[in-house]
Structure formats: C-alpha cells, structure tokens
Amino acid sequence: MNANRKISFIAILYAILIVYAIATFLPFAWALSASFKPLSEIIAGGLNLIPQNFTLENYQKIFLEEPLFGRWLFNSVVVASTVTIFNLLFNSMAGYALARIPFKGNQILFFCILAVLMVPAQVTLIPSFLILKSLGWLNSYQGLIVPNIVNATFIFMMRQFFVNFPKELEEAAALDGLGYLETFFQIVLPLARPALAAQTIFIFLGSWNNFLMPLMIVSTSEMFTLPLGLNTFKGQYISYWNYIMAASMVFTLPALLIYAFFNRYFIQGVTFTGNK
C-alpha cells in the first residue's frame, strides 16, 4: 500500500514538473520562432511555433544594418566578464578573510555585510549616480564596472563556504611555510571551484541582464549594453518585434553557454561545503 502511494506521489510530482516545464519553455519557443518571422506575421496574431514565411532577414538586419549592435554586444561582454572576474577575486578574498583570519573587528565587519544585504539595490541608485558624477565616470566603462566589482551576498556565500573548508589542508600549508596569501591562492582557491562556479553563474547573469544601472549612467548609444540596445527597437508608434526577438536570441545565447559550462558545479556550489 505504501509503495502504491509512493508511486502515485512520484507520478503526480512528475506531472506537475512536466506541466511547469512546458509552461516555462513555450514563451521561449515562441520567441525563437518569432525571430525567423517577418513583422507582418507576428502582429497578425496566433501562437503558431512554425514560421509560415521563414526568413533570416531579422538576423541580417541586426548584424549587418544596425551599425551599433556589434558595439552593444561588445560592451555587454566586456562589462559582464570584467565584473564577474573582479567579483570572483574580491568576494573570495573577503570571504576567506572573514572565515579564517582573526583580526580586530572581524565580527563587526561581518555584521555590517549582513546589514548591507537588507538594503534594496534601488535605494543606492541615486547615491551611486552622484558619486559617479563627482568622479566623472558617467557614460564610461569604469562607471558600469567599478560599482559592481564586489557583492555582499557572495562575500557572505564565500565566507560560509570557507567556514566549512577543512582546516587540515591549511595547517599542512602552514607547516610548509606558506602564509595566508600563498595558502589562499595555491591551496584554497583551486578547491573552491564549486562555489566559484555558482558565483560565476549568478554574477554574470546579473550583470548581463542589468538594465536599470546602465540606463541611469549611460547617455550615448555607443555605450549602450545589449539590454538598452534592445529597447531601441521599440518606438512610440510601432515596435519591431521581429528584430527584438532576433536580438533577444543572440542576447540569450551567452547566458545559456555560461550556465551549460558551469552547470556541473552549480549544485555543489550552492551547498556551501568544502569537504571535497
């Protein structure tokens, strides 16, 4: 009887997951299909996933006739990659210091970081804008990158990871004469790949999809990132949904590649364990 109940529960669970997967995938499938349709077919309505008038003109338009699309793609790649690299370094170093290095004010600093987690990002937008303006960093790469090179959430995450990291490895490194810095880069960081992979996914996607911060500090179309560039295909009287869908597919591809590459480390990373 218990076995039958277990089978029924699993069947219901899988049915719910299948329905959820279909409901999640359908909008993406429609967007992919629409990227190969002319505008007239899209605005005609209907949910057909197979284009009646298949065309590559939308992709040709955004790559060959939109002179700034390549620049927008370049800007997004530079900003997201640089932000991710700096976050991996600084968040990991800060987390390791909080977890392993005894210094005066360690706990106070840790509680301050926890307090930062409670502040909504929107609250800091205006102060960030005023600071960037005073530095002359508006409409620049440093203005897009520097305010995002550390993240309190992932400092906390890395601190929790290093708290559970085996001390025996660090003690063995100390016996070999390694200091904190050498131990961190030679022993600890290479073994923190699961946490770093999870951090990479979240930070890259967050920076890649960021719309509000670039909108606030960027004033020329040459400095647009892809989210801002996509918005230019929407007009007051007409929106070119065919171009928007094609650009959206290009915009989605790097995020899918990042997730696919780091997926095997993802679950390990969010468990915050260093026992491996």
- 229 and 251 Cβ atoms separated by less than 8 Å: no
Looking at domain 66-233, its CATH architecture is: Orthogonal Bundle (1.10)
Asked if pLDDT for residue 270 goes beyond 80, the answer is no
Instruction: Output 64 or 80, whichever has higher pLDDT.
Output: 80
Could you report the per-residue pLDDT of 225-254, keeping only the tens digit for each? 999 988 888 765 577 888 989 999 998 888
| Contacting residues for 207 by C-beta, under 8 A, at least 6 apart | 79, 80, 83, 84, 148
Q: What is the reported pLDDT for 276?
A: 44
* pTM (predicted TM-score): 0.84
Could you report the per-residue pLDDT of 91-136, keeping only the tens digit for each? 999 999 999 888 888 889 999 999 998 888 888 889 999 999 999 9
In the chain, domain spans: 66-233
